[in-house]
């Protein structure tokens, strides 16, 4: 079916000015589309890198990989970049591509409804918009998971979630509790061990730790990257790193592979060789397989864990009182500061926004069982609505920027059908999603994420909510859509 839309300027609305929203805006402009509006709920760009400012915040993906392919950065200071540097990088990209004027800050989209082939949008400021395409780039980890702990409101000291760090609170020589031992908790404990008078790390479930050396790029290296684009591209596409990432993705999908056994070996040796006290070593030894939870990369967490002012506690937090945390055995530990490094509600995506597709189908209805999207980008009955880093996408210890770039390549081919007038709307068919999900779930159950641990990778039914195949299979799948899997209207 053709239509007369082909030559008019389509309007694109992007939800979120984080890494993926910035990417979408740049790519649209590059393709000659100028009718773009980005809605950002906060007052600045940056997404997760804006919201997380905790001490020790470091990206565990190598800096030159955690970089847009089209915006290399010779200035990265370290192999693993500090969070503030990542935020500064995104700000520099936004400035370089002059995106500020198309971003509405402090304006959250509250409602999106598809009618008459357009998305009717309402925002928290009471404004309305109308778009041909909506690109949801809301990210995954932006709703802090704050546990309901008895007595939490009675605590007289300072208590906050890791993604809502209160920088007015003094930390030096204070008695600090850190609850949670994901990537965040581990980084915070490592950073605060030297500063706190006493630091208790509540590890309900210990983690495997992958050793890493976070080297500094010398001034000579940075000068080389500045002056030699080939050297800069070379480190961005480092073949050794590429091979390691691919190997890691094979390990995730094939838990009995040599690649996985190699990872298990490294993390076990790290524990055995780094922790001298046998009792502490056993406390820190996870009872599930390596990489079942997102693998934690740390240069010196085990050094921090062995400091005399640091206590590793193998217990959850059931009760908080005005002076501290009371354990199940009745012991009260007193604190000045309690940090909740308790993770995020990873299944929220665009929610709590109200999104209504064709025939009055709401997102809540479409996702009543679990968040799902064909190839991670398109939901049946939600035409011309695409997601970057949506449900069932690849997650793991690799760059989500790269993942989003591949997804953009795929999505742009679907949007082109409408832009070129071949149809007015496009969304995945229900049968394509069902087939995709069936195969995905079967493979996901066999992946390392389904090997018997609790993590934010699992959906409400305990099934890994991730892309369960290798990274190269993902790249292959993103080359070109199977158009037969889509309903064109």
Minimum CB distance to ligand NAP smaller for 148 or for 167 = 148
Q: Two tokens at 30?
A: 């590059």
Minimum CB distance to ligand NAP smaller for 52 or for 384 = 52
Q: Two tokens at 263?
A: 């990872």
Minimum CB distance to ligand NAP smaller for 217 or for 456 = 456
Minimum CB distance to ligand NAP smaller for 72 or for 144 = 144
CB atoms under 10 Å from CB of 445, counted, come to 14
Find where tokens 């369960």 sit.
468
CA count, 13 A, side-chain hemisphere, 261: 3
Minimum CB distance to ligand NAP smaller for 17 or for 86 = 86
Give the span between the Cα atoms of 436 and 433, in whole angstroms. 5
> Nearest approach, Cβ of 211 to ligand NAP (angstroms)?
15
> Nearest approach, Cβ of 287 to ligand NAP (angstroms)?
11
> Nearest approach, Cβ of 361 to ligand NAP (angstroms)?
31
Minimum CB distance to ligand NAP smaller for 72 or for 147 = 147
- 260-267 contacts at long range (C-beta below 8 A, 24 or more positions apart): 260/289, 260/290, 260/291, 260/448, 263/210, 263/290, 263/291, 263/295, 264/289, 264/290, 266/210, 266/211, 267/208, 267/209, 267/210, 267/295
Minimum CB distance to ligand NAP smaller for 341 or for 448 = 341
- Tell me the C-alpha to C-alpha distance, in Å, between residue 4 and each of 109, 329, 412, 416, 423: 29, 72, 20, 14, 9
Nearest by Cα to 313 from 299, 298, 324, 300: 324
> Nearest approach, Cβ of 316 to ligand NAP (angstroms)?
4
> Nearest approach, Cβ of 445 to ligand NAP (angstroms)?
20
Q: Where are the beta strands (DSSP E) in 82-189?
A: 103-104, 109-115, 118-123, 128-131, 133-136, 158-161, 175-179
C-alpha dihedral sign at 468, 471, 477, 478: positive
By the criterion CB under 6 A, which residues form the site for ligand NAP? 58-61, 141, 147, 179-185, 202, 204-205, 294, 316-317, 341-344, 454, 456
The DSSP call for residue 80 is S
The DSSP call for residue 369 is S
> Nearest approach, Cβ of 7 to ligand NAP (angstroms)?
43
Minimum CB distance to ligand NAP smaller for 110 or for 205 = 205
> Nearest approach, Cβ of 179 to ligand NAP (angstroms)?
5
> Nearest approach, Cβ of 185 to ligand NAP (angstroms)?
5
Give the span between the Cα atoms of 85 and 79, in whole angstroms. 12
- Tell me the C-alpha to C-alpha distance, in Å, between residue 15 and each of 70, 353, 391: 22, 11, 16
CB nearest ligand NAP: which residue?
182
Nearest by Cα to 404 from 14, 37, 13, 83: 14
| CA 21 distance to own-chain centroid | 13
Minimum CB distance to ligand NAP smaller for 59 or for 94 = 59
> Nearest approach, Cβ of 157 to ligand NAP (angstroms)?
18
Minimum CB distance to ligand NAP smaller for 58 or for 356 = 58
> Nearest approach, Cβ of 204 to ligand NAP (angstroms)?
4
Give the span between the Cα atoms of 273 and 461, in whole angstroms. 37
């Amino acid at each position: 079916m053709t239509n007369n839309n082909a030559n008019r300027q389509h309007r694109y609305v992007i939800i979120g000015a984080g890494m993926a929203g910035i990417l979408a805006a740049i790519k649209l402009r590059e393709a000659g589309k100028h009718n773009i509006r980005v809605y950002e709920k906060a007052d600045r760009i940056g997404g997760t890198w804006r919201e997380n400012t905790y001490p020790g915040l470091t990206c565990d993906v190598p800096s030159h990989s955690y970089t847009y392919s089209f915006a290399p950065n010779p200035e990265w200071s370290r192999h693993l970049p500090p969070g503030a540097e990542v935020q500064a990088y995104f700000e520099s990209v936004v400035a370089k591509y002059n995106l500020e004027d198309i971003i509405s800050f402090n304006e959250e989209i509250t409602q999106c409804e598809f009618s008459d082939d357009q998305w009717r949008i309402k925002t928290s400021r009471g404004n309305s918009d109308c778009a041909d395409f909506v690109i949801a780039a809301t990210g995954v980890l932006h709703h802090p998971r704050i546990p309901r702990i008895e007595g939490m409101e009675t605590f007289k000291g300072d208590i906050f979630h890791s993604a809502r760090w209160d920088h007015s609170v003094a930390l030096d020589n204070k008695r600090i509790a850190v609850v949670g031992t994901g990537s965040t908790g581990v980084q915070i404990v490592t950073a605060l061990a030297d500063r706190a008078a006493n630091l208790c790390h509540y590890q309900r479930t210990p983690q495997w730790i992958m050793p890493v050396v976070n080297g500094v790029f010398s001034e000579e290296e940075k000068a080389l990257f500045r002056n030699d684009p080939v050297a800069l591209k070379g480190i961005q596409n480092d073949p050794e790193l590429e091979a390691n990432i691919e190997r890691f993705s094979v390990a995730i999908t094939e838990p009995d592979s040599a690649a996985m056994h190699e990872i298990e070996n490294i993390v076990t040796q790290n524990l055995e060789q780094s922790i001298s006290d046998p009792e502490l070593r056993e406390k820190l030894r996870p009872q599930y397989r390596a990489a079942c939870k997102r693998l934690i990369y740390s240069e010196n967490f085990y050094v921090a864990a062995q400091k005399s002012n640091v206590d590793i506690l193998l217990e959850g937090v059931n009760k908080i009182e005005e002076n501290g945390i009371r354990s199940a055995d009745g012991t009260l530990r007193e604190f000045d500061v309690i940090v909740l490094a308790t993770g995020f509600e990873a299944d929220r995506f665009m929610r709590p926004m109200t999104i209504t597709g064709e025939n009055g189908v709401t997102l809540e209805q479409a996702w009543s069982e679990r968040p799902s999207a064909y190839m991670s980008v398109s939901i049946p009955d939600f035409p011309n609505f695409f997601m970057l880093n949506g449900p069932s996408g690849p997650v793991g210890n690799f760059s989500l920027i790269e993942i989003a770039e591949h997804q953009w390549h795929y999505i742009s081919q679907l949007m082109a059908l409408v832009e070129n007038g071949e149809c007015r709307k496009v969304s995945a068919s229900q049968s394509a999603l069902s087939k995709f999900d069936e195969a995905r779930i079967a493979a996901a159950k066999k992946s390392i994420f389904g090997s018997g641990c609790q993590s934010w990778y699992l959906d409400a039914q305990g099934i890994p909510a991730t892309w369960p195949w290798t990274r190269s299979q993902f790249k292959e799948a993103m080359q070109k859509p199977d158009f037969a899997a889509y309903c064109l209207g």
